[in-house]
Amino acid sequence: MRYISTRGAAPTLAFDEVLLAGLARDGGLYVPETWPTFSRDELRAMRGLPYAELAVRVMAPFLGGRLTELEFAELVREAYAEFDHAAVTPLVQLDQSTWVMELFHGPTLAFKDVALQLLGRLFDHVLAKKGQHVTIVGATSGDTGSAAIEACRDRDAIDIFILHPKGRTSEVQRRQMTTVLSSNVHNIALEGSFDDCQDLVKAMFNDTAFRDEQNLSAVNSINWARIMAQIVYYFAAAVQLGAPDRPVSFAVPTGNFGNVYAAYGARAMGLPIERLVVGTNSNDILARFFATGTMSTQAVTPTISPSMDIQISSNFERLLFDLYDRDGAALADCMARFRAGGSFAVTSEQLSRARLLFNGHKVDEDLTQATMTETRRLTGGMMIDPHTAVGLAAARAEQPNLDPAVPLVTLACAHPAKFPDAVERATGVRPPLPPRLADLYEREERLTVLPNDLKTVQSFVRSQVRRTIVRQGVA
């Protein structure tokens, strides 16, 4: 198994190389050269497997022999032992054709743990073998940051810098990041939006001298290994609901397009996925794209689902690569136009192909709130977070177009306790933090506020990395 860049001008890489590389050197994202596939019998044989065993089976073809299956199985076993539910990503049925898949049973209460608990261990394993140190730079709108910090804290071979948009995450999300005082963890509150954070991360990768000097790595879903690990739970849900003998559809609250792209990957691997419903909040660039074929940025609006306050969905490039029939040069040209003018359009043929599988729905603030209220009422007490509410409302909007015999699974991407104010406003109940985070509000915080300026952020990284300079403590 080799990996190629969506822009066609970077070296092809093996799994361990792609894990450490993050963004490709031509600015593109890595994808598998070909998708491994499972036969119907192989899919049937996945039914009833414990999550960790299923995960090894689904991910093994992506390793290309760069880790032994035994080594990998041990890392996977350890990663999912950190989850507080035996099923890891359990399904809850809401009505005859609607399910919710709970992805928030990991240490930081969001779906990011599913991939990042494994990634932290993979980094450690591969870096120890190579005798290397990496500097991870990551952007977060709230959830990736804490999951990545939790997965990478106190690891000798890693320094991790997480940029979050100052004042635009929930307080719980911020504290989950900034109260980790490990010497290899560096929190930056950027004066800007999530898109600014993501732009700076990409700019650091695209500055080749800096990238090489720091040996940069990524924890965002630009890193292929994130997508690989997220593919697994689509298999877990689908085989449990009868795949391959019954198709399944998914509704995914979407921002950076990593989660729903993982579903697209699962389908490419043979899973019978009928429809992918993309739920967006008021930052509806993706819903507008699936309606019109034009991707066009607008100013970011802060919402009660802040993790999805995103305009530039980095993983969309991976889908576009296929819509451009894997023509890296044509895609690079499209991306350059997007960067320069803030918009691009696909052809009607490309849009029709995308719409065979995807549809998008915008869910505004009132509907998000009403969905949290209604879900609690209809289920007799179930609390959902605002992002899950966006997914569920989008699922409801799509349902009239769908066969009711096909299960529709909405991804519950975060625990309601991460967004207590929004949940309390909608339901009248303040969801308590689980015991492991019960003293979060009493813990000391450490972060550095920086302006949205590449050179300033780069100097900060240089000054803090433990292997080059004695750490000086940040106030």
Ligand X SMILES: N[C@@H](CCOP(=O)(O)O)C(=O)O
Which H or E run includes 129? helix 112-130
| Partner from ligand PLP, ligand X, none contacting 5, C-beta within 5 to 8 A by type | none
| Partner from ligand PLP, ligand X, none contacting 98, C-beta within 5 to 8 A by type | none
Q: Is 380 exposed, middle or buried (0-12, 13-18, 19+ CB in 10 A)?
A: exposed
Name the segment binding ligand PLP (CB under 6 A); options: 192-200, 203-211, 233-241, 251-259.
251-259
Residue of 112, 166, 202, 418 marked catalytic: 112
Identity of the residue, 110 or 408, whose beta carbon is nearer to ligand PLP in the bound complex: 110
CA count, 13 A, side-chain hemisphere, 13? 22
CA–CA separation, 50 vs 318, rounded Å?
Answer: 30
Of 258, 279, 293, 407, the one binding ligand X (CB under 6 A) is 258
Of 175, 387, 396, 415, the one binding ligand PLP (CB under 6 A) is 387
Residues in 63-102 at the binding interface with ligand PLP, rule: CB under 6 A: none
Of 184, 187, 256, 371, the one binding ligand X (CB under 6 A) is 256
The C-alpha torsion from 4 through 5 and 10 to 12, rounded to 10°, is: -10
CA–CA separation, 13 vs 367, rounded Å?
Answer: 44
The conformation of residue 441, written as its DSSP 8-state character, comes to G
Per-residue binding letters, 186-225, with ligand X (x by CB under 6 A): ----------------------------------xx----
Per-residue binding letters, 312-351, with ligand PLP (x by CB under 6 A): ----------------------------------------
The conformation of residue 419, written as its DSSP 8-state character, comes to S
How many Cβ atoms sit within 10 Å of the Cβ of residue 96?
8
CB of 433 to ligand X, least distance (A): 18
**Is residue 174 near ligand PLP by the rule CB under 6 A?**
no
The conformation of residue 434, written as its DSSP 8-state character, comes to P
Spatial contact of 276 and 287, defined as CB atoms under 8 Å apart: no
- Tracing tokens 């894997």 back to the chain, one arrives at 326
CA–CA separation, 339 vs 342, rounded Å?
Answer: 6
CB of 166 to ligand X, least distance (A): 14
Identity of the residue, 168 or 387, whose beta carbon is nearer to ligand PLP in the bound complex: 387
Q: Quick check: is 112 catalytic?
A: yes
Identity of the residue, 176 or 307, whose beta carbon is nearer to ligand PLP in the bound complex: 307
Of 106, 120, 138, 258, the one binding ligand PLP (CB under 6 A) is 258
Identity of the residue, 141 or 179, whose beta carbon is nearer to ligand PLP in the bound complex: 141
Q: Phi, psi at residue 273, to the nearest 5°?
A: -95, 125
Residues in 122-141 at the binding interface with ligand X, rule: CB under 6 A: 140-141
CA count, 13 A, side-chain hemisphere, 421? 9
Spatial contact of 239 and 407, defined as CB atoms under 8 Å apart: no
- The sheet carrying 98-102 orders its strands as 91-95, 98-102, 408-412, 248-253, 273-280, 358-362
Number of residues that bind ligand PLP (CB under 6 A): 16
Residues at the contact surface with ligand X, assessed by CB under 6 A: 140-145, 220-221, 255-256, 258, 307
Enzyme catalytic residues:
112
